[in-house]
Amino acid sequence: MAGSRWQKLLNTLQLSRDYTTKPAGLRWRSNTYFIVATVAIGLFTDLFLYGLVVPVLPFMLRDRIGLPPDQVQSHVSGLLAAYAGASVVFSPIAGILADKTSARQGPFLLGLTSLLLATTLLFLGTSLPVIAVARVLQGISAAVVWTIGLALCLETVGPENLGKTIGSIFSFISVGNLVSPLLGGVLYKKAGYAGVFGIGFAILTIDFIMRVLVIEKKVAKRYETKDPTNATDPNATPSRQFDGATENQDHDSGEEEPLLGRKENEEFKIADDQPAIVHHIPILPCLKDPRILTALLVAFVQATLLGNFDATIPTVAEELFDFDSLKAGVLFLPLGVFDFLLGPIAGWAVDRYGTKPAAVIGYTYLVPVLVLLRLPHAGGKDQMILYGALLGLCGVGLALIGAPSIVEAGAVVQKYYEANPDFFGEDGPYAQLYGLNSMVFSAGLTLGPELAGELKQVIGYGNLNAVLASICAVTAVLCFVFIGGKPRLLGGRGR
């Protein structure tokens, strides 16, 4: 009896691979909503702690480390680059390592460990090298969390439900990205470092508890089968691993599939004579597909736009309205509120109507809205309202372009996986794919502020946004041609 209780405790803590004794709370811990909530909290924590620390860095470098004022800005930029660079470099590595593990929870917890260590070093660090190491660890954590989290989402809800799931998650985490810089500045002013990092450690604790408790669906299935070592879950592939009824839709459409399905299967077949590196990184053959390359480009442009807003809104607010940092932060509210409210709806539309309409409409819509950002000028309340309203309209566009990239890339890789199951192995290359997505997104977040700062200084804020509008126009055309498959008017079959 005591042995049985001990085994149940080990299984509850997931420290044992004995699948004969069910862990406590197996049903709710492997529930779709709890898994998705855990991923959402993980991504929220990453963005929240990133934003929480950013407004404190200049004061940390000046007051704690003793840098002269003329060196603070360059070192802040360097520390921001260290975070982004570590995320860019480590994202594909995290994807490769994750696809070689049997479960996602271990790497997911390792990412949190890196973030905990980074936060501790930032709290206690009194030298520039320590702070730099902390920022690198933050970047590594971001790479792991985003890569593993998105792969876990796909495995949990399936591609048919990925759009609304990603839209909802992105809406939720946008709150963290929106509120944390303001909160960090206020807490530092009122309570010092203890206040800033106190709330950081509190959120880390919640994140840790959820990551320890979560049980992946494929792991939960092993407790239900008589032979867990040979458990082939009919719902384990990402196309079917969710709690909904989409499975029946697959069966219903089976009579139409053979001829078209066989032809499509050949399109995604990978030749046997692949270089040795491909067997270690099986996502590589998929990158010849223009749909995946376009999806990655969409993610890059999306991140570039976000980085542009982060870099320009505070300086424009100061120049036009003489706002301080706290008032400038308020201008992020309309941008984030519309993204938060419309993200789940836009994600549902991607699931319902496909990735092409959302991507094309979203980027086309952003073209005139970005051009209109040249209208606000120095003035009073009317100009502040105009600028805030235009930022709100930009938030609508950001909501529309949030989900298509991830959903499209996952859908195409799913086709490769179904056509080459032996080549990719049981779990497929999804973590590698989302590692690439994280790498590209981080590169966009790195380039966005730099591009915005340089262009704003050289050609002005209005012309900067005209350039971004042109980039959105080109992206919209590429989305029309490639995202969701070549359209029928260009000789394609559509989605």
30 and 124 belong to one structural domain: yes
Tell me the C-alpha distance between 391 and 300, whole Å: 20
Task: Give whole-number Cα distances, 17 to 156, 200, 226, 492, in Å.
Answer: 21, 33, 14, 49
> Do residues 136 and 99 lie in contact, with contact meaning Cβ atoms separated by under 8 Å?
no
202 and 82 belong to one structural domain: yes
Q: Which pLDDT score is estimated for 361?
A: 94
Domain with 470 in it: 279-495
> Do residues 416 and 286 lie in contact, with contact meaning Cβ atoms separated by under 8 Å?
yes
Is the residue at 271 inside a domain? Answer: no
> Do residues 207 and 41 lie in contact, with contact meaning Cβ atoms separated by under 8 Å?
yes
285 and 210 belong to one structural domain: no
186 and 313 belong to one structural domain: no
Q: Which pLDDT score is estimated for 237?
A: 47
User: Residue 304: which of 432, 444, 443 has the closest Cα?
Assistant: 444
Q: Which pLDDT score is estimated for 232?
A: 47
Q: Which pLDDT score is estimated for 102?
A: 65
Is the residue at 244 inside a domain? Answer: no
Is the residue at 121 inside a domain? Answer: yes
165 and 304 belong to one structural domain: no
Which residues fall within 8 angstroms of residue 50, CB to CB, at 6 or more apart? 83, 138, 142, 177, 180
92 and 193 belong to one structural domain: yes
> Looking at 219, 241, 271, which one is the last position of a domain?
219
Q: Which pLDDT score is estimated for 427?
A: 64
Global pTM?
A: 0.74
388: helix, strand or coil: helix
Which residues fall within 8 angstroms of residue 322, CB to CB, at 6 or more apart? none
Q: Which pLDDT score is estimated for 59?
A: 74
Is the residue at 245 inside a domain? Answer: no
The burial of 190, by beta-carbon neighbours within 10 Å (0-12 exposed, 13-18 middle, 19 or more buried), is given as exposed
Domain containing residue 441: CATH number = 1.20.1250.20
314 and 457 belong to one structural domain: yes
Tell me the C-alpha distance between 42 and 147, whole Å: 11
CA angle (35 as vertex; 176, 252 as ends), nearest 5: 120
Tell me the C-alpha distance between 480 and 478, whole Å: 5
Task: Give whole-number Cα distances, 434 to 24, 91, 99, 171, 430, in Å.
Answer: 31, 8, 11, 19, 6
208 and 329 belong to one structural domain: no
What percent of the chain is helix, strand and coil (3-state, nearest 5)? 80, 0, 20
Is the residue at 345 inside a domain? Answer: yes
For helices 69-99 and 105-124, give the axis angle rounded to 10 degrees.
Answer: 160
Q: Which pLDDT score is estimated for 467?
A: 93
Q: Which pLDDT score is estimated for 9?
A: 52
Q: Which pLDDT score is estimated for 15?
A: 53
- Tokens, residue 488: 């029928």
For helices 32-53 and 128-157, give the axis angle rounded to 10 degrees.
Answer: 160
Place of tokens 């594909």: 92
- For 253-278, the pLDDT digits (tens) are 444 445 445 555 677 787 777 787 77
Is the residue at 129 inside a domain? Answer: yes
Is the residue at 243 inside a domain? Answer: no
Q: Number of folded domains in the chain?
A: 2
> Looking at 171, 204, 219, which one is the last position of a domain?
219
> Looking at 200, 219, 238, which one is the last position of a domain?
219
207 and 302 belong to one structural domain: no
What torsion, rounded to 10 degrees, do the Cα atoms 31, 33, 39, 40 define? -160
- Tokens, residue 186: 């206020």
Low-confidence ranges of the chain (pLDDT < 50): 1, 231-257, 259-260
308 and 179 belong to one structural domain: no
Q: Which pLDDT score is estimated for 405?
A: 85
Tell me the C-alpha distance between 495 and 486, whole Å: 8
293 and 179 belong to one structural domain: no
- Tokens, residue 189: 């002013």
User: Residue 114: which of 96, 140, 132 has the closest Cα?
Assistant: 140
170 and 288 belong to one structural domain: no
Q: Which pLDDT score is estimated for 135?
A: 87
Is the residue at 248 inside a domain? Answer: no
Tell me the C-alpha distance between 342 and 335, whole Å: 11
Cα 239 to its chain centre, rounded Å, is: 20
